[in-house]
């Protein structure tokens, strides 16, 4: 677009008085998305006009590769998607509260990223062990991932997929559709331009008003719904699991999966020999998703599975203290489910050699009785797979000894006090989809 067209754009905004300045500075449409408030201030644009210009620029920066479908146009998309994707997208479609609808959009995007990562890891694992560079990149974020980590893992997996992958669509979707949507068109990371910034504002901002949520929803609803038009290839993959009654296909938002009779080669028969594991099938291509996705009755961390519970699709969310933790989709009572030991063993095998973390508190009290303890143990025993996390008062030469050994002092000024907003954030992260019960109690 030429500066002449930018002039027309400014006049349409009622800000034509800046056309000459934009022309003098050679600002055309290719430059517009990178303009910041500081740039406009330098051009002597007053605050009110700066806000109007930035809002209009943000609208230009939204993805426009495909038109956003109307709400009812999501119905056939939801019906064809694998159930782990269809359920959160249906929750978004049916939600009417603007704050909860934004949260539902965040949940749907995070589940989408998880499933793409699972598919990519599954495809790579069919060829043997994951490449060592990828394993190094995944080890930390996959054990305690947030939305930003899932985005980075999706990119790392997509970049690692080889020629002849069963998922040729994955890399373009991550690179050309999801990355611009999540990151925004520039480094400003405002809530109007970066979906990651929006997610962080919802989780860490202490709550938002219904009015602000309505404005943000008007900005984000079209690009969010347009994303799903780029995923027409996902319904081609059938997610298949074994139940006590035989094989089922997980498709659409129904909690009752449809029976199926897949042609499973012998090499994958062991994966589906037990109830629970899921595989993805397209033609003669089969990708194992277990232990990152499974179908079964959610397991309570203390009481195990409910004998009368309903089998649900479950997707991995993080590594727990003992077992893997999953998000049960479509349930209303249990926010998280735990794996058994078999899934943990497979998970660790995927990531390679085991890592060990020692948590040692009260180091200063131990040093009072044994001055050589810190030197002999945490500083004396070091391996590539061993990490020591030590806590104690900065006394008895401990800070100097650890600094000399190159240890990272995580909180040099001491642990910061926990605020009410931190507690809210922790709860919202840990209770998963059940957070809507808490958010409905927010008052303006």
pLDDT tens, 399-427?
888 888 888 888 887 777 777 666 667 66
282-299 pLDDT, tens digit per residue, is: 988 889 888 888 888 888
pLDDT at 236: 92
Query: Average pLDDT, stretch 96-125?
Result: 94
Give the model's pLDDT for residue 2. 41
CA distances from 431 to 71, 435, 437 (A): 28, 6, 10
Residue 425: both structure tokens together: 């954030």
Grouping H, G, I as helix, E, B as strand and the rest as coil, residue 9 is helix
Q: What are the two backbone dihedrals, phi and then psi, of residue 75, each rounded to the nearest 5 degrees?
A: -55, -55
Sign of the CA dihedral running 121, 124, 130, 134: negative
* Four-CA torsion 188, 190, 192, 197, nearest 10 degrees: 120
DSSP string, 280-325: EEETTEEEE-TTTEEEEPPEETTTEE-TTPPPEEEEEEEE-SSSEE
pLDDT above 90 covers a percentage of the chain that reads 27
Residues 6 or more apart whose CB falls under 8 angstroms from that of 49 comprise: 15, 18, 40
**CA-to-CA separations, 374 to 127, 356, 364, 369, 398, in angstroms, rounded:** 44, 18, 9, 11, 8
pLDDT number for residue 268 = 59
Q: Residue 179: which residues within 8 A CB-CB, separation 6 or more?
A: 151, 155
Q: Residue 25 above 80 pLDDT?
A: yes
Higher-pLDDT residue of 191, 127: 191
Q: For residue 124, how far is the Cα from the chain centroid? A: 20
Res 128: pLDDT: 80
As a whole number of Å, the end-to-end CA separation of the chain is 43
Q: Is residue 188 scored above 60 in pLDDT?
A: yes
Handedness of CA 158, 163, 165, 168 (dihedral sign): positive
Residue 333 pLDDT: 65
pLDDT in tens, 297-355: 888 777 677 777 888 888 888 777 667 888 888 876 666 677 665 665 555 555 555 66
Average of pLDDT values for 348-366? 74
Taking phi first (over 0 means left), then psi (-120 to 50 degrees means alpha), and beta for anything else, what does residue 141 get?
A: alpha
Band of residue 64 on the pLDDT scale cut at 50, 70, 90: very low
Task: Return d(Cα 50, Cα 48) in angstroms, integer.
Answer: 5
Contact 434/334 with Cβ under 8 angstroms? no
Do residues 83 and 329 make contact, with C-beta atoms less than 8 angstroms apart? yes
| Residue 31: per-residue pLDDT | 77
- The answer to whether the predicted template modeling score (pTM) of the entire model surpasses 0.75 is no
- Residue 99 pLDDT level (bands cut at 50, 70, 90): very high
Residue 3, pLDDT score? 45
Give the model's pLDDT for residue 66.
46
Counted residue by residue, the chain has a size of 444
Quick check: bond before 291 cis, omega within 30? yes
Identify the pLDDT of residue 53.
82
Contact between 378 and 358 under an 8 Å Cβ cutoff? The reply is: yes
More confident residue, 248 or 441: 248
Strand partners, 70: none
Lowest mean pLDDT among 67-71, 253-257, 303-307: 67-71
pLDDT tier for residue 436 given thresholds of 50, 70 and 90:
low
Residue 220: how many other CB atoms lie within 10 Å: 21
Of residues 10 and 163, more confidently modeled: 163
Least confident of 20-29, 194-203, 268-277, 356-365: 268-277
Q: How confident is the model at residue 441 (pLDDT cuts 50, 70, 90)?
A: low
Cα–Cα nearest to 359, from 341, 345, 378, 346: 378
Residue 176: DSSP 8-state:
I
- Mean pLDDT, the chain, rounded, equals 81
Strand-by-strand arrangement of the 285-288 sheet? 258-259, 246-250, 238-243, 278-282, 285-288
Say if residues 23 and 3 touch (Cβ distance below 8 Å): yes
pLDDT of residue 382 exceeding 70, the answer is: yes
Sign of CA dihedral 220, 226, 230, 232: positive
More confident residue, 68 or 30: 30
């Amino acid at each position: 677009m030429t500066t002449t067209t930018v002039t027309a754009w400014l006049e349409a905004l009622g800000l034509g008085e800046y056309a000459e300045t934009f022309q003098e500075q050679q600002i055309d449409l290719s430059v517009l998305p990178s303009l910041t408030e500081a740039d406009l201030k330098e051009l002597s644009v007053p605050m009110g006009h700066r806000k109007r210009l930035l809002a209009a620029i943000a609208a230009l920066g939204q993805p426009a590769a495909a038109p956003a479908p109307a709400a009812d146009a999501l119905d056939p998309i939801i019906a064809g998607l694998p159930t782990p994707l269809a359920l959160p997208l249906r929750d978004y479609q049916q939600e009417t509260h603007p704050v909860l609808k934004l949260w539902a959009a965040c949940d749907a995007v995070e589940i989408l990223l998880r499933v793409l990562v699972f598919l990519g890891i599954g495809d790579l694992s069919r060829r043997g062990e994951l490449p060592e560079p990828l394993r190094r990149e995944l080890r930390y974020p996959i054990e305690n991932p947030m939305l930003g980590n899932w985005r980075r893992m999706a990119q790392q997996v997509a970049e690692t997929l080889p020629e002849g992958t069963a998922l040729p669509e994955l890399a373009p979707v991550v690179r050309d559709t999801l990355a611009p949507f999540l990151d925004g068109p520039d480094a400003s990371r405002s809530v109007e331009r970066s979906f990651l910034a929006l997610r962080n504002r919802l989780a860490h901002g202490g709550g938002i008003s219904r009015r602000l949520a309505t404005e943000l929803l008007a900005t984000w609803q079209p690009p969010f719904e347009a994303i799903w038009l780029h995923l027409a290839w996902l319904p081609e993959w059938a997610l298949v699991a074994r139940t006590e009654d035989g094989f089922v296909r997980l498709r659409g938002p129904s909690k009752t999966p449809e029976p199926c009779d897949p042609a499973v080669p012998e090499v994958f028969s062991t994966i589906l020999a037990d109830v629970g594991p899921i595989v993805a099938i397209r033609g003669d291509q089969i990708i194992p998703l277990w232990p990152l996705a499974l179908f079964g009755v959610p397991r309570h961390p203390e009481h195990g599975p409910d004998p009368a519970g309903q089998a649900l699709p479950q997707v991995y969310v993080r590594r727990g203290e003992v077992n893997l933790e999953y998000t049960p989709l479509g349930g209303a009572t249990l926010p998280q489910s735990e794996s058994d030991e078999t899934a943990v063993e497979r998970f660790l095998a995927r990531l390679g050699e085991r890592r060990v973390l020692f948590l040692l508190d009260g180091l200063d009290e131990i040093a009072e009785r044994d001055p050589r303890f810190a030197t002999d143990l945490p500083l004396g025993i070091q391996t590539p797979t061993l990490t020591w996390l030590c806590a104690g008062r900065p006394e008895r030469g401990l800070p100097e000894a650890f600094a000399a050994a190159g240890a990272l002092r995580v909180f040099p000024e001491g642990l910061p006090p926990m605020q009410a907003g931190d507690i809210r954030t922790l709860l919202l992260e840990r209770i998963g989809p059940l957070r809507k019960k808490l958010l409905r109690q927010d008052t303006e």
